Structure 1
Amino acid sequence: MINEFKADLKSLSSLQIYRKYVLGGDCHLLDNHRLFEIRETICEKFEIEFNDVIMVGSGKLGFSIKPSRRFGIFNDDSDIDIAIVSTKLFERIWQEAYLFKKSGADWPSSNKFFKYLSEGWIRPDKLPPSSYFEFTADWWNFFNNLTSSNRFGPFKVRGGLYHSNFFLQEYQIICIEQCIQEAS
């Protein structure tokens, strides 16, 4: 698939590549049954729509498109990356995080959290400390349990929360456009 992807970098737009490879196409790591199972488990946990759970990254493509690992093949050190696109969940966590910060609580990564928030996504590793912020503990417990279950292989399962499809698309397109520039 990597050769087809590289060939398409020369003939398709970044949006077309996003649609073809990230939203469409086969999943490299998981067969249809396992992909359904992971998406179903996540949508049930967070009470979101099934289509709001999207596998991304090297587990989906078979290789990475992010700059630090560009075209690196999925391997034993790779994660299963899940994008959760839910305006309702995103805004709930945004409000809770705002109130947490407003309370004056200790939160060393708050500036980084709000930087990513301005880009339309919540990085769980930048959430307030789990000892004070219930959602953080709940998030990590859930994804760590998915990982330790080995239902999806011996890989870490990680998730990011996006405000809308627009922000997921924009995040992915940045990396795709860098791939296009490098292929030129």
Structure 2
Amino acid sequence: MPGLTQEIADNLERFKRDLDEHDNKTLVDRYYYSTSGPVLDNGQQAALRRSVSDYLDVSVRDVVLVGSAKLGFTLRPKPNRPALSHFGDESDIDVAIISSPLFLRYWQETFSHWVDVGDWDQAGKFREYLFRGWLRPDKLPRDADFPLSKQWFDFFRSLQASGEFGGYKIAAGIYLNEHFWEEYVGSALSECRLYVKELT
């Protein structure tokens, strides 16, 4: 993995310079909407995006590789991982699915489930993220009366098990539209910019 480590380090240095020189919109365009990334090559990224788009019946353009698998490092601190930590063996491949129809489908199914059975253990967190235009599947009901949740996680586990994407866990979230996704990423970029300034 030495070659990958060097590529990530180079990408991180370039990112730090760009973070100082460009606004969040430019950074989103340059680092997320471009097809290159240090962890998955272009062929793997294309295959992953196509697999997700085919399964969920969304446009491949609506599927965006994000997070440390895209950048090579994390923007926000996580438990035992400070901001700007390199992608590693314990990292996930994160995918944003930016699709209003898919978002509404899952929201409607979840609402119907709530009408029938009431709150579930993650209902409060689900609503909190829903307010931000982000539907987090890990906050969906997990009981047998809500098969969408099991189907979702079975599919993403099958992608990991295939080994085609390095054997990493693959996680995804659904955004109502680009506005909400770009706001989320923009806030992470702003936090990271402050963090980098504190380091210098």
Q: TM-score, normalised by structure 1?
A: 0.96
C-alpha displacement at 1:172, in angstroms? 0.5
The answer to whether structure 1 residue 99 and structure 2 residue 78 are counterparts is no
The answer to whether structure 1 residue 58 and structure 2 residue 65 are counterparts is no
- Which letter does structure 1 place at the counterpart of 2:44? R
Partner SS state of residue 65, structure 1? coil
C-alpha displacement at 1:130, in angstroms? 4.1
- Match of residue 144 from structure 2: 131
C-alpha displacement at 1:106, in angstroms? 5.2
The answer to whether structure 1 residue 43 and structure 2 residue 56 are counterparts is no
Q: What is the alpha-carbon distance in structure 1 between the residues aligned to residue 35 and residue 164 of structure 2?
A: 22
Report the CA distance shift for 1:159/1:130 in structure 2 as closer, same or farther (over 3 A): farther
C-alpha displacement at 1:104, in angstroms? 2.9
Asked whether the 8 Å contact 1:53–1:82 carries over to 2, the reply is yes
Q: TM-score, normalised by structure 2?
A: 0.88
Asked whether the 8 Å contact 2:93–2:169 carries over to 1, the reply is yes
* Counterpart pick for 1:153 among 166, 177, 182: 166
The answer to whether structure 1 residue 32 and structure 2 residue 42 are counterparts is yes
C-alpha displacement at 1:110, in angstroms? 0.5
C-alpha displacement at 1:24, in angstroms? 2.0
C-alpha displacement at 1:25, in angstroms? 5.4
- Which letter does structure 2 place at the counterpart of 1:136? S
- Which letter does structure 1 place at the counterpart of 2:158? N
Asked whether the 8 Å contact 2:35–2:42 carries over to 1, the reply is no
- Match of residue 118 from structure 1: 131
- Match of residue 87 from structure 1: 100
Report the CA distance shift for 1:161/1:130 in structure 2 as closer, same or farther (over 3 A): farther
Q: Which runs of 5+ in 2 are unaligned?
A: 1-10
Partner SS state of residue 100, structure 1? helix
Asked whether the 8 Å contact 1:67–1:175 carries over to 2, the reply is no
Asked whether the 8 Å contact 2:74–2:87 carries over to 1, the reply is yes
- Which letter does structure 2 place at the counterpart of 1:26? S
The answer to whether structure 1 residue 174 and structure 2 residue 187 are counterparts is yes
Q: Which runs of 5+ in 1 are unaligned?
A: none
Partner SS state of residue 186, structure 2? helix
Q: What is the alpha-carbon distance in structure 2 between the residues aligned to residue 36 and residue 106 of structure 1?
A: 38
CA RMSD across the alignment: 1.2
C-alpha displacement at 1:166, in angstroms? 0.9
- Percent identical among aligned pairs is 34
Q: What is the alpha-carbon distance in structure 1 between the residues aligned to residue 86 and residue 92 of structure 2?
A: 12
